[in-house]
Structure 1
Amino acid sequence: MDDPTTTDVRELTTDAEFEAAYPILRELRDHLDRAGMEATHERMREEGYRLFGRYDGGTLVAVAGVSVGTNFYLGRHVFVHDLVTTESRRSEGHGSALLAFLHEWARDRDCETVELESGLWRDEAHRFYEAVGYEKYCYSFTYDLDAEGRGG
């Protein structure tokens, strides 16, 4: 049984753990329904995606999804695809603790950098990332291939 006074971070690997993470991830990825999220998660795992959870007293309160990659501008790095603390538990230090864990996890895998992207409209998230030491250094652009057929 979990100690109600402890906090920890661990990788989520079982169906039951992902089941517990789904409602928290949905707070960030509300455009996906459950079936879509499960199918996408399975594909992402095949491509190296790892999901970590921050527990407080045995209750899952924050999650982060990451992958390890290498490119010319970052070298070997961890990319944070998803980072969210459940709304009722924000501003309690769970997000920064989860990022601190990921920084050590990245170092243990000989990574040089941890990178993430955040939507332009997420001002509060940007303040948080800068407060924990992240630098805003570029814009990320997307091209919607489905829009090509619609005159996009």
Structure 2
Amino acid sequence: MISSKIIELKTNSEFLKAYPIIKQLRPHLNENSYIELILAAQVEDNYKMFALVEEDILVAVIGFKPMITLSTGRYIWICDLVTDSKQRSKGYGEKLLTYVEEWGKEKEFNCVSLSSGIQRIDAHRFYEDKMNYKKVNFVFKKIL
């Protein structure tokens, strides 16, 4: 029987174990900028990172922020969700996203939101068809 667990990553050494997987989603980050951004996001935005571990191997990572806005109220914003490219289509992303949904319910958040790059067609199918997420708006970006 395969042993899987979801753990919260809290230390620099734990974050570094997740780096090779996060790098697949965020290739612009080097190890130093990755750690710096996590630490700043934890302090400033209460950013949290969890990993799915299968048989002592880290296979997927999710990062999110509990948020409150006037438009949505109390909600969870998924910042990062990635499964190791060698481990995809095994239900790991679904497990992590479901875990965060349950985490949010326990802490009385009313929804989970995320954005996904327009080129990520497979991810969109996953969110809409498998996880029952709805497209509700566009995200616009301007580089400063």
Describe the superposition over 1:21-70 as per-residue Cα deviations: whole angstroms up to 9, x where unpaired.
01100000001112111111111111210000011111110000011011
Please name the residue that 1:148 is paired with.
none
Q: TM-score, normalized by length of structure 1?
A: 0.90
Q: Does 1:135 align with 2:130?
A: no
Describe the superposition over 1:49-100 as per-residue Cα deviations: whole angstroms up to 9, x where unpaired.
0000011111110000011011122210010000000000000000001011
Describe the superposition over 1:121-145 as per-residue Cα deviations: whole angstroms up to 9, x where unpaired.
1111101111211111110011212
Please name the residue that 2:30 is paired with.
33
Does the Cα contact within 8 Å between 2:63 and 2:78 map onto a contact in 1? yes
Does the Cα contact within 8 Å between 2:68 and 2:74 map onto a contact in 1? yes
Q: CA deviation at 1:16?
A: 2.1
Q: CA deviation at 1:5?
A: 2.4
- Post-superposition, which runs of at least 4 consecutive aligned residues in structure 1 deviate over 3 A? none
Aligned-partner Cα distance in 2 for 1:13–1:39: 13
Please name the residue that 1:98 is paired with.
96
Rg (Cα) greater in structure: 1
- Residue among 4, 11, 14 paired with 1:7: 4
Q: CA deviation at 1:19?
A: 1.3
Aligned-partner Cα distance in 2 for 1:37–1:19: 9
SS at match of 2:17: helix
Query: Which runs of 5 or more residues in structure 1 are unaligned?
Result: 146-152
Q: Percent identity?
A: 35
Please name the residue that 1:43 is paired with.
40
Please name the residue that 1:150 is paired with.
none
Query: Which runs of 5 or more residues in structure 2 are unaligned?
Result: none
Aligned-partner Cα distance in 2 for 1:119–1:55: 26
Aligned-partner Cα distance in 2 for 1:13–1:37: 14
Please name the residue that 1:79 is paired with.
77
Please name the residue that 2:121 is paired with.
123
Aligned-partner Cα distance in 1 for 2:53–2:71: 34
SS at match of 1:130: helix
Please name the residue that 2:62 is paired with.
64
1:98 alignment partner AA = L
Aligned-partner Cα distance in 2 for 1:33–1:10: 23
Aligned-partner Cα distance in 1 for 2:83–2:47: 19
